[in-house]
Amino acid sequence: MFEKIRRLFIIKTRFEAFLIIYALALGAVERGTAYLSEFPGWGGRLLFLACTAAVFMAGAKILDCVRYERMQTDSNQPQKKQTHPST
């Protein structure tokens, strides 16, 4: 039972990663607009930029991890042996 619940929180594909990144971006933009209204001027703009930059860094890390996990699972699977004809 716990295994099924745990699998819900594992990002397995790039599509799932992009959905997570999209959700992070929506939250960051919402928080950034709150900063713009709370801190008018350059301070609010810099905080807005920091929110969106955090999403770029987190998104890059998520995509790298998905790619790394995919390469690990692909390398652990047995590969077909290619037989070369004798010439």
- Model pLDDT for residues 41-71, shown as the tens digit of each residue: 999 999 999 999 999 999 999 999 999 988 8
Residue 25 CA from chain centroid, whole number = 11
State the DSSP H helix or E strand holding residue 79, giving kind and residue range, or none if neither: none
Q: How far apart are CA 12 and CA 18, in angstroms?
A: 11
Domain tally, the chain: 1
Range of the domain at 24: 16-69
Kindly state whether residue 1 falls inside one of the protein's structural domains: no
Instruction: Report the percentage of the chain scoring pLDDT > 90.
Output: 63
Kindly state whether residue 44 falls inside one of the protein's structural domains: yes
Position 2 confidence tier, pLDDT thresholds 50, 70, 90:
confident
Kindly state whether residue 43 falls inside one of the protein's structural domains: yes
Kindly state whether residue 80 falls inside one of the protein's structural domains: no
Q: How far apart are CA 3 and CA 1, in angstroms?
A: 5
Kindly state whether residue 87 falls inside one of the protein's structural domains: no
Instruction: Quote the pTM value.
Output: 0.76
